Amino acid sequence: RKEVEQDPGPFNVPEGATVAFNCTYSNSASQSFFWYRQDCRKEPKLLMSVYSSGNEDGRFTAQLNRASQYISLLIRDSKLSDSATYLCVVISGGSYIPTFGRGTSLIVHP
């Protein structure tokens, strides 16, 4: 089983739709969780940190479920510009070495 798993998609949704991604992790000692966004041929950019209490930033909501070992990302009112690959990143223990999921591709169409 991979350490961090994501559905690669693509998720193909119309503008204005709400879409949710999940990411599961295998290491119960994982401490830090993030969602990154990567556009084609560009570097990943931090979208949101995922805290135990969950967090919201505008149209984006991230949640952590430690019991089931997954994190989620919810995007409301999708925009064309949201089209990208969304990477789940988990950091375990004291090594600070990030483990990446394969990414979930989102395509928002008119």
Partner 1 sequence: GAVVSQHPSWVICKSGTSVKIECRSLDFQATTMFWYRQFPKQSLMLMATSNEGSKATYEQGVEKDKFLINHASLTLSTLTVTSAHPEDSSFYICSARDLVASYNEQFFGPGTRLTVL
d(CA 104, CA 88): 9
d(CA 87, CA 67): 21
Which residue, 17 or 22, has its beta carbon nearer to partner 1?
22
Which residue, 17 or 38, has its beta carbon nearer to partner 1?
38
Q: How far is the CB of 18 from partner 1 (least distance, A)?
A: 26
CA atoms within 13 A on the CB side of 54: 10
Q: How far is the CB of 23 from partner 1 (least distance, A)?
A: 13
Buried b (16+ CB within 10 A) or exposed e, 61-76: bbbbeeeeebbbbebe
Q: How far is the CB of 27 from partner 1 (least distance, A)?
A: 14
Residues that bind partner 1 (CB under 8 A): 31-32, 34, 36, 41-46, 49, 51, 87, 89, 91, 96-98, 100-103
